[in-house]
Amino acid sequence: MAKGRTLSLILIAGVMASGAAWVANEWVIKRNAPIVQEIKVEEQLVAIALIDIPLGTKVEEQHVKLISFPKDYVPEGTYESTDLVIGMIAKSDILPEDILREGRFSEHDEGTALASLIEENMRAITVRVDDVIGVGGFLLPGNHVDILATRKVNKRTYTKTVLEVIKILAVDQTARTNDNDPVIVRAVTLEVSPRQAEIVVNSRNEGTIQLSLRNPNDVYVMAVKAKPKKIRKKKVTPPKPTITVIRGTSVGVVSR
């Protein structure tokens, strides 16, 4: 019977030791576990492009959707509702998932969509072109060109670049196109300032003009450098040497 009690005590001690070890292990794990605090991130609704929105396109309901975005990372000028951007005109090509911002759209209240694409204080002017002037049909809305003017003076031909980095608003009557293949057009509409419009008209009346297509990555902007005025140096005549002559009480000055 004594052996039975001893065996029972040993079993009970083993169970208690196992239990104590398990409790100690759980305590150690909980104590060493990192404290995770739940941080609530404030979100804001932002309108993004659902599909491609080409240049000159009037935004419709199927073009946009709303997503939740961390408020601290929302760029300035975004739209919190699709109603605010629907009906606007895209001023550049917009890709799917792009965040829609105010600077990339213009209002379309009256007239054609082309009128909404013209920047403030700028004008649209159309020039007739052929396959040569129109760079073989490779001109597309959104491209930039230089304008070269050619004229004859005393039977000699002169060509000069009169304008640089001029934006193409439309080709023929199309302000946007999804086709990159060359298309021969009859007219190209350019975005120019009032002064630049005068240059284009004068160059066309005095001779012929040619459009030169620029690389889209070329961000060169023509800087007009004023020629420094030549300062004429005035000739300074050195004074003639003199001699002071004292005769008695009179003092006189005599030039040498």
> Over the stretch 80-102, which tens digit does the pLDDT of each residue have?
999 999 988 888 788 899 999 98
> What pLDDT, on a 0 to 100 scale, did the predictor assign at position 102?
87
Work out the pLDDT band at 231, boundaries 50, 70, 90: very low
Q: Above 70 in pLDDT, residue 181?
A: no
> Over the stretch 103-139, which tens digit does the pLDDT of each residue have?
888 876 555 567 777 888 888 898 888 766 667 667 8
> What pLDDT, on a 0 to 100 scale, did the predictor assign at position 105?
86
Q: Exposure string (b/e) for 159-170, b if CB count within 10 Å is 16 or more? A: eeebbeebbbbb
Residue whose C-alpha is closest to residue 71's, from 44, 100, 39: 44
Mean predicted confidence (pLDDT) in 201-206 = 90
d(Cα 171, Cα 115) in Å, to the nearest integer?
14
Chain centroid to CA 215? 15
Chain centroid to CA 67? 24
**pTM (2 decimals)?**
0.53
> Over the stretch 17-36, which tens digit does the pLDDT of each residue have?
777 777 777 777 766 666 65
